Amino acid sequence: MISGRTWAFGDNIDTDQIIPSQYLVLRSIDEMATHSLETQRKEFASQVRPGDVIVAKQNFGCGSSREQAPTVLRALGVGAIIATSFARIFFRNSINMGIPVIVLPQAGEINEGDQLDIDLASGTIENRTNGRRYSFAPLEGLPAEIMAAGGLIPYLKSIEASA
Amino acid sequence: MSGMTLTERIIARHSGRDAVRPDEIVTASVDLCMANDGTMRLNVDIFENKIGATRVFDPERIVLIMDHQVPADSPQTAEVHEISRRFAEKYGIRHFYESEGICHQVMIEKHVEPGMLVVGADSHTNSYGVVGSVSCGMGSTDISAVMALGKTWLRVPHSVRVELIGKLKPSVVTKDIILALIRQTTCSGLAYRAVEFTGPALADIPVPQRFTLCNMTTETGAKSSMIVPDDATYAYLRERRGVDITRDPLLVSDPDAVYEQTYTIDCSSLDPQVARPHSVDNVVPVGETAGVRIDQAFLGACTNARIEDLRQAADIIRGRKIASNVRFLVTPASRTVYLESMREGLIETFMSAGAIISHPGCSACWGACQGVLASGQTMISTGNRNFKGRAGSGESNIYLASPATVAASAVTGVITDPREFL
Query: pLDDT tens, B117-167?
Result: 999 999 999 999 999 999 999 999 999 999 999 999 999 999 999 999 999
> What does the pLDDT average to over B26-42?
96
pLDDT digits (tens, 9 = 90+) for B205-219: 999 999 999 999 999
Q: How buried is residue B37: exposed, middle or buried, by Cβ count under 10 Å (0-12/13-18/19+)?
A: buried
Would you state the pLDDT for residue B281? 97
Cβ within 8 Å, pair A153-B80: no
Number of C-beta neighbours around residue B52 at 10 A? 13
Q: What is the torsion angle, in degrees rounded to the nearest 10, for the CA atoms of residue B128, residue B133, residue B137 and residue B141?
A: -140
Query: What is the least distance, in Å, from the CA of B199 to any CA of chain A?
Result: 28
Chain A hits for B122, CB-CB cut-off 8 Å, are 64-65
The dihedrals phi and psi of B255, each to the nearest 5 degrees, come to -60, -30
Residues present in chain B in total:
422
Residues of chain A contacting B42 with CB distance shorter than 8 Å: 67-68, 71
User: Which phi and psi (to 5°) does residue A152 adopt?
Assistant: -65, -40
Contacts of A67 in chain B (CB under 8 A): 39, 42, 139-141
Q: Which residues pair with A126 in a beta bridge?
A: A117, A133
Please give the pLDDT value at position A22.
87
Residue in B69, B123, B187 nearest the CB of A64: B123
Taking the CA of residue B308 and the nearest CA in chain A, the distance in Å comes to 26
Name residues whose C-beta falls within 8 Å of residue B54's C-beta, 6 or more positions apart in sequence. none
- Report the distance separating Cα A145 and Cα B136, nearest Å: 22
pLDDT of residue A50: 94
pLDDT score recorded for residue A159: 83
* Cα distance between residue A110 and residue A107, in whole Å: 6
Identify the pLDDT of residue B369.
85
Determine, for residues A65 and B50 on separate chains, whether the beta-carbon distance falls below 8 Å.
Answer: no
Tell me if A39 and B389 make a contact (CB, 8 A cut-off): yes
Specify the pTM. 0.95
What confidence category does residue B304 fall into, taking pLDDT thresholds of 50, 70 and 90?
A: very high
Which sign does the torsion angle of CA A75, A77, A78, A80 carry? positive
Cα separations (Å) of B164 from A66, B83, B258, B289, B303?
A: 32, 44, 18, 26, 19
> Rounded to an integer, what distance in angstroms lies between the CA atom of residue B145 and that of residue B122?
15
CA distance A120 to chain B (A): 21
How far apart are the CA of B190 and the nearest CA of chain A, in angstroms?
A: 10
Query: Cα–Cα distance between B281 and B386 in angstroms, integer?
Result: 10
**What is the pLDDT at residue B418?**
98
pLDDT of B1 > 80? The answer is no
pLDDT of A27 reads 84
Q: Please give the radius of gyration of chain B, using alpha carbons only, rounded to the nearest integer.
A: 21
Backbone angles phi, psi at B201, to 5 degrees: -70, -25
- Please judge whether A26 and B141 are an interchain contact, meaning their C-beta atoms are less than 8 angstroms apart: no
DSSP B274-326: EEPTT-TT-EEEGGGTTT-B-SEEEE-TTTS-SHHHHHHHHHHHTT----TT-
- Mean pLDDT in residue range A75-100: 96
B262-285 pLDDT tens trace = 999 999 999 999 999 999 999 999
Residue type, A136: F
Residue A162's pLDDT is 79
Choose among B358, B355, B314, B359: nearest CA to B335: B359
Q: Indicate the average pLDDT of chain A.
A: 94
| Closest alpha carbon to B210 in B222, B198, B218 | B198
pLDDT at B333 over 90: yes
* Structure ipTM: 0.91
Nearest to B367, CA basis, from B278, B274, B273? B278
Q: Which residues from A are below 8 Å from B123, CB to CB?
A: 63-65, 89
* Number of CB atoms found within 10 A of residue B240's CB: 15
Residue B367 has pLDDT above 90, yes or no: no
Chains A–B, number of C-beta pairs less than 8 Å apart: 116
Per-residue model confidence (pLDDT) at position B105: 98
